Amino acid sequence: MNWQAISFDWNQVRAFLATTEEGSFSGAARVLKTTQPTIGRQISALEEALGVTLVERSVRGLTLTESGRDLLDHVRAMGEAATLVSMVAEGKSREVTGEVTVTGTDLLSTEILPGVLMPLREKAPGIRVRILASSDMQNLTQREADIAIRHIRPEQPDLIARHLGDFRANLYAATSYLDRVGRPRTFRDVADYDFVGHADPERLMAPLHNMGIPVRAESFVMSSTSGTVAWELVKAGYGVSMQPEVLGEVEPGMEKVLPDFPSLEFPIWLVTHRELQTSRRIRIVFDVLARGLAIAARTSVATRPDNS
């Protein structure tokens, strides 16, 4: 540990984080129950301690500099750690009770959330989680859910969104299917295979065309609005499908259709209400999800069995 490098005040870091989350000095002052000049002085002191400019101030408001953006993820991690330390020190984490509703796609809810949420049972066994398998962002705005996991950033100003990383997806098929029809030698060969699609299979056609696979609409012999159903159809051997690498690389009997086919990336956003600032149970679940999903995004390819 480089103790000499830890020379700034936590209150300064907290002021910077609150300002970025709330979008202004006044917003940060409100949630931290202090004054706007105090927030400004704390951020200036942090900038002086670090030797960089974090926030550009203008008549149009505040804008993070490149250094500020680089620092933000680390500061958020510090904020999460400070919250958890406070809860543990006060013995409150295990005492928190109540229900939290989490919404995500049906495939993510089925295949990824069970593992990601397991630490919650030890950390806060009094919290009950209800999982709503849905892709509808209105689940949050209509207060049907407390936390949403989405692939696009929400535009609603009353929501808090955090980008956790990017999952990668690739073309997968069951080994049984490829044994039956043969394995392709070129990208063009894949266009002659049967495909399994999701809710709108034709949306996949354009990126595949751009990557040298001129797949046709009639190639999608099976499709489903349910990601879980589509995944099961692929495993059953109906054809080729674009699926998350975090699943395809570890599923027995599945393989990449083309080992050198470039992966597509899709972002993972964790979204919640402003209530995150005041609800302890939502904060605990949010932090567990943020940590687990970020790890899943970082290690999706590393989980492949033959990468050891």
Over residues 120-147, the pLDDT tens digits come to 998 889 999 999 998 776 667 677 889 9
Looking at per-residue pLDDT, the higher value among 87 and 156 belongs to 156
Q: How far apart are alpha carbons 178 and 194 in whole angstroms? A: 11
Instruction: Report whether pLDDT(306) > 60.
Output: no
Q: How far apart are alpha carbons 254 and 232 in whole angstroms? A: 11
- Cβ count within 10 A of residue 295: 14
pLDDT tier at 24, thresholds 50, 70, 90: confident
**Domain end marker among 54, 70, 89:** 89
Are 172 and 254 contained in the same domain?
yes
Are 135 and 152 contained in the same domain?
yes
Are 130 and 259 contained in the same domain?
no
Are 188 and 207 contained in the same domain?
yes
Identity of the highest mean pLDDT range in 7-21, 105-119, 157-171: 105-119
Contacts of 257 (CB under 8 A, 6+ apart): 171, 172, 173, 178, 183, 184, 190, 193, 240
Are 162 and 284 contained in the same domain?
yes
Q: What length is written for the chain?
A: 308
pLDDT at 308: 35
Instruction: Report whether pLDDT(2) > 60.
Output: no
Average of per-residue pLDDT across 186-201: 91
Q: Are residues 119 and 292 in contact, defined by beta-carbon separation less than 8 angstroms?
A: yes
Instruction: Report whether pLDDT(251) > 80.
Output: yes
Instruction: Report whether pLDDT(305) > 50.
Output: no
Are 127 and 258 contained in the same domain?
no
Looking at per-residue pLDDT, the higher value among 286 and 203 belongs to 286
Are 49 and 173 contained in the same domain?
no
Domain count along the chain: 3
Identity of the highest mean pLDDT range in 2-11, 26-35, 211-220: 211-220
Are 121 and 231 contained in the same domain?
no
Are 151 and 278 contained in the same domain?
yes
Sequential DSSP letters for the chain: --GGG--S-HHHHHHHHHHHHHSSHHHHHHHHTS-HHHHHHHHHHHHHHHTS--EEEETTEEEE-HHHHHHHHHHHHHHHHHHHHHHHHTT-GGG--EEEEEEE-HHHHHHTHHHHTHHHHHH-TTEEEEEEE---THHHHTTS-SEEEESS----TTEEEEEEEEEEEEEEEEHHHHHHH---SSHHHHTTS-EEE-SSGGGGHHHHHHTT----GGGEEEE-S-HHHHHHHHHTTS-BEEEEHHHHTTSTTEEESSTTPPPEEEEEEEEEEGGGGT-HHHHHHHHHHHHHHHHHHHHTTTT-GGG-
pLDDT at 78: 79
Are 254 and 285 contained in the same domain?
no
Where in the sequence is the domain holding 294, given as residue range(s)?
97-166+266-307
Are 193 and 255 contained in the same domain?
yes
Q: Are residues 266 and 166 in contact, defined by beta-carbon separation less than 8 angstroms?
A: yes
- The dihedrals phi and psi of 92, each to the nearest 5 degrees, come to -100, -20
pLDDT at 72: 84
The CATH number of residue 32's host domain is 1.10.10.10
The CATH number of residue 149's host domain is 3.40.190.10
Are 280 and 151 contained in the same domain?
yes
Contacts of 241 (CB under 8 A, 6+ apart): 171, 172, 173, 195, 196, 197, 230, 231, 233, 234
3-state secondary structure string, 201-235?
A: HHHHHHHHHHCCCCCCHHHEEEECCCHHHHHHHHH
Q: How far apart are alpha carbons 238 and 72 in whole angstroms? A: 45
Mean of the per-residue pLDDT values for the chain? Answer: 85
pLDDT at 84: 62
Q: How far apart are alpha carbons 114 and 121 in whole angstroms? A: 11
